[in-house]
Amino acid sequence: MKQSRKILRRALLIPTTLLALGMLNASKSAIAQIYNPIELSGEREINDTLSENDIPTGVGGFARDYSVELFEGDQITIDVISEEFDTLVSLIGDDGTTVSENDDGPDGSTNSLLFARISKSGQYTVRVRSYAGQGEGAFYLKLARLREIEE
């Protein structure tokens, strides 16, 4: 009786382990499909929409992420304009830390204007969300490199 239990346990151990590993790989694949930031390349301008189909922030509201490669010494501006919600823009480093964040631009509007100097080359995330998780809708995003005038 004890011998047959050992055999049964061993017989179940391998399929159970394989099932668990398969579920783990399926989870990683599902996560990769869920989180897929949009590449900002070329003109680095985009008209887009923030909606409840985007990334839940965990503090209310949703976020839309964009991936961009930046280089040490870059000086950039990120401008986010919306007629439909109060924008909040964040620049996030490849290690997950927030490099800079802006809620309202200098013109007194609820649009966002962020300035940043890049101290380390790498892949960065530009995150657009609504202030206090309130609102969604169409927005315009532009990332520009500031250039010094050579004399």
The structure's pTM equals: 0.74
What are the residues facing 62 on neighbouring strands? 56
Average pLDDT (13-34) is 51
Question: Do both 29 and 44 map to the same domain?
Answer: no
Structural domain span for residue 10: 1-34
Question: Do both 23 and 72 map to the same domain?
Answer: no
Contact 136/87 with Cβ under 8 angstroms? no
Compute CA 45 distance to the chain's CA centroid, rounded to the nearest angstrom.
Answer: 17
Q: What is the DSSP letter of 40?
A: -
- 151 located within any domain: no
Candidates 134, 141, 124, 111; CA nearest to 49 is 141
Question: Do both 61 and 121 map to the same domain?
Answer: yes
pLDDT tens-digit readout, 120-150: 999 999 999 999 888 999 999 999 988 654 4
The pLDDT score that the predictor gives to residue 23 is 53
- 12 located within any domain: yes
DSSP string, 64-77: EEEEEEE-TT-EEE
In the block, residue with structure tokens 């809708």: 137
- 67 located within any domain: yes
Contact 64/129 with Cβ under 8 angstroms? yes
Return the higher-pLDDT residue of 88 and 12. 88
The helix (run of H) or strand (run of E) holding residue 10 is: helix 2-34
- Residue-averaged pLDDT of the chain: 82
Distance from C-alpha of 77 to C-alpha of 116, rounded to nearest angstrom: 7
Q: For residue 31, is pLDDT > 50?
A: no
pLDDT tens-digit readout, 88-123: 999 999 999 999 999 887 778 899 999 999 999 999
Q: For residue 51, is pLDDT > 80?
A: yes
